[in-house]
Amino acid sequence: MKFHHLIAGVLGAAMAATSASAQDFPERPINLIAPFNAGGGTDLLLRGLAPHFAEAIGGDVFVSNMAGGSGTVAASALQGQRPDGYQMAYMSVTVSTIQPQIKNVPYGLDSWTPICSVAASPTLLFVSNDSPFQSVDDVVAAVKAEPGKYVFGSSGPGAITHLTMVSAFAGLGIIDDMKHLPFQGSGPAIKELTAGNIQFFGDTEILMKRGDFRPLMVFNEKRIEGFPDVPTAAEVGIEAPLNELYLWGGLFAPAGLEPEVTATLEAACEKAVASDGFKEFAANSGTVIKYRGAAEFDAFYRAQYEANSKLIEAAGL
């Protein structure tokens, strides 16, 4: 990330930078920050988006990684930066609305200028294909019959996978009779689901397809295309706010960005997300595109922050 400062500094000195006004934006490369490691889902999404974003805005765009602390290290670093539009992070629902409410991080609701939302993916609750559970009712009956026996996994405490499990089982009223086994990342959790050390896991459709798994329920407003027989959370009796869990992500700049710059970035994002190239990338990677403009995304983000505080409370995190 700071690499860009270095380059920008050198370039700036060389060109004896003239007055920077919003009309000239962008006059140097824009940095898109992935708050996770290179090669992860967020990183790949950004790398898929970056060239189309660059084309749309008519300038250079590069992706950098600043992993750590479930995404909070990058967000914490970005919140203190100058709001000039040259640095944005791709933040998910967890980084932007969950982590700041469960951890003591230096950012919160008002730290950002939301630019655009890019993607959204429903999460599913699933079991191994050789599991005896065919429906959520089976699960509830089994857990109540043998409290303390069954284990659900997550990719880490406070991650979307954890919230999926907690929302499901707290919503079904059986979470106190179950054990939570956190892993580091979805890969190891999927392995243990295959091996049988955990019985339940929850993640996106693309991850579920990695193994021989069977979905029991989906967190979405309506049933999803690929699995028309799988009921939604509300259908199996999970009540609000726990049935409103929703995995989304978008670009955020530090708070206080000039409206003209915001508009330029928003327009570029819309064009990039709608481009054929990005659509093809999304189809290949199982990304569900969900674009929202700056104003709409701001309102959505604030509503989610509010809703998720209730979810966190209900889930007992």
Partner 1 sequence: MLSALPDAIGILLSFEGLSVLVLGTVLGIVLGAMPGIGSTVAVAIVLPFTLTMSQAPAIILLLAVYAGSVYGGSIAAILINTPGTPQSAATCLDGYPMAKRGDAGLALGWATIASVIGGLASAVVLIFAAPQLAAVALEFGPIETFALILLGMTCIVSVSTGSVVKGLMAGMIGIFLSTVGGDPILGEMRFTFDNWQLFAGFNLLAVVIGVFALSEVFVRASAPVSKVSELVAFKGIVLPGWSLWKGRLRNLGKSVLIGNVIGVLPGTGAATAAFISYAEGRRSSPNRERFGKGEPDGIVSSEAANNAVTGGALVPTMALGIPGDAITAVMLATLTLHGITPGPKLVDDNPTLIAAIFAGFFIINLLLLPLGMLLSRVAAPILRVREAFMMTAIVILCALGIYFVRGNPFDLLVMGGAGLVGFLLRRQGFPMAPLVIGMVLGPTLELTLRQGLILTDGSFLAFFTGHPIALVLALAALLALSLPLLRVLRAGKTHE
Choose which of 37, 147, 256, 310 interacts with partner 1 (CB under 8 A): 37
**277 lies in the binding site for partner 1 (CB under 8 A):** no
Which span sits near partner 1 by CB under 8 A: 16-24, 39-47, 228-236, 289-297?
Answer: 39-47
Q: Which of residues 198-257 bind partner 1 (CB under 8 A)?
A: 206, 209-212
Q: Which of residues 141-160 bind partner 1 (CB under 8 A)?
A: 148, 151, 156-158
Shortest separation between residue 170's beta carbon and partner 1, angstroms: 17
**313 lies in the binding site for partner 1 (CB under 8 A):** no
Shortest separation between residue 10's beta carbon and partner 1, angstroms: 15
Choose which of 32, 76, 139, 165 interacts with partner 1 (CB under 8 A): 76
Shortest separation between residue 159's beta carbon and partner 1, angstroms: 9
Instruction: Phi first, then psi: give them for residue 272, nearest 5 degrees.
Output: -65, -45
**176 lies in the binding site for partner 1 (CB under 8 A):** no
Choose which of 25, 49, 56, 72 interacts with partner 1 (CB under 8 A): 72
**77 lies in the binding site for partner 1 (CB under 8 A):** yes
Nearer to partner 1, 73 or 307 (CB): 73
**103 lies in the binding site for partner 1 (CB under 8 A):** yes
Choose which of 101, 194, 275, 309 interacts with partner 1 (CB under 8 A): 194
* Secondary structure (H, E, C), the chain: CHHHHHHHHHHHHHHCCCCCCHHHCCCCCEEEEECCCCCCHHHHHHHHHHHHHHHHHCCCEEEEECCCHHHHHHHHHHHCCCCCCCEEEEEEHHHHHHHHHHCCCCCCHHHEEEEEEEEEECEEEEEECCCCCCCHHHHHHHHHHCCCCCEEEECCCCCHHHHHHHHHHHHCCCHHHCEEEECCCHHHHHHHHHHCCCCEEEEEHHHHCCCCEEEEEEECCCCCCCCCCCCECCCCCCCCCHHHCCEEEEEEEECCCCHHHHHHHHHHHHHHHHCHHHHHHHHHHCCCEEEECHHHHHHHHHHHHHHHHHHHHHHCC
Which span sits near partner 1 by CB under 8 A: 14-22, 102-110, 166-174, 305-313?
Answer: 102-110
Shortest separation between residue 221's beta carbon and partner 1, angstroms: 26
Q: Cβ distance 290 to 117 under 8 Å?
A: yes
Q: Cβ distance 170 to 242 under 8 Å?
A: yes
**131 lies in the binding site for partner 1 (CB under 8 A):** no
Which residues in this chain contact partner 1 in the complex, by CB under 8 A? 1-4, 37-41, 44, 47-48, 64-70, 72-73, 76-77, 102-106, 148, 151, 156-158, 179-185, 187-188, 190-192, 194-195, 197, 206, 209-212, 281, 284-286
